[in-house]
Chain A
Amino acid sequence: MKVRVIVTLKNGVLDPQGRAIHHALEGLGFEGVNDVRAGRVIELDVADSTSDAALDEMCAKLLANMVIENYRIEKAA
């Protein structure tokens, strides 16, 4: 089973990388970019029997830092 974990910074947490990307886009002449937040995508290939609880645990224990980040799990159809 292919699983995609999308890790994003929590709202309210300053994102220096997102801000730098934002500035760079503006520098390239792109207009109308209101905000940029950078995150991380982690693709897993796991046994079909892997439970949702186990996936949650992987995210909370390692893939995301729950102090500053949220995660979302997407399973490939």
Chain B
Amino acid sequence: MAFTSAVITFPGSNCDRDMAVAIEQVCGGTVHRVWHGDADLPEGLDFIALPGGFSYGDYLRSGAMAARSPVMQAVVRAAERGVTVLGVCNGFQVLTEAGLLPGALMRNAGIRFVCRDVKLTVENNQSLFTAGYDAGQQITIPVAHHDGNYFADDATLDRLEGEGRVAFRYGESVNGSARNIAGVLGDRGNVLGMMPHPERMIEAAHGGSDGRALFESVVRGLVAA
């Protein structure tokens, strides 16, 4: 079966093309580009990606306006049907604002925008997104964000840890995130939000290819399913 995916573009998205190229190169199939004002998604999607950027100029709160855009109503319905959804950076912020993932992403604890490669630990390699990594594997993926400081109350954090829903953890404090959490899975495992950019690490020319296994995991998991 042909792998069918969509990359959503909001006004102010700036990693949408990188995301589409990563999916095309690693997953193959058809990548639809969908605009934020579209109320409907293409038929038969296996995978939806929400890219990084500064949707709606980060007005009100990062991701807040995008989370209420017409296309996000359709993305929420698709996620509830079980379609696989990845949100990277601003996409992660949109997923929390839309209620598809718990918690919130606040201003970095050090105030500064952080733009550099960071070490991550793969905390859970049993998920659809991370099956191609080894448990506990150390990988290097770049971050570029101002609001990446993951916050949730202790009960929520304990539940996420207990349910294996912390997908990635920073190897050091990067932005003040609670328990150094870098990526979180939804309760059904079909939604992942992460601040680091795997689509910027898929070939040697990027300085590494540690992000590639994420896209390989998704396509393997979905095409085999």
Contacts and interface: CB of A to CB of B under 8 A. Distances in A.
Interface string A59-72: 00111010110000
Interface residues of A, number: 11
Contacts, number: 36
A51 to B, nearest CB: 21
Contact of B64 (A13, A20, A65): A65
A16 B176 contact: yes
A13 B102 CA distance: 15
A67 B107 contact: no
Contact of B109 (A14, A63, A67): A14
Interface string B86-117: 00000000001100001110111111000000
A65 B111 contact: no
7 contacts: A13-B151, A16-B109, A17-B107, A20-B111, A65-B61, A65-B64, A67-B152
Interface of A: 13-14, 16-17, 20, 61-63, 65, 67-68
Interface of B: 60-61, 64, 68, 96-97, 102-104, 106-111, 149, 151-152, 176
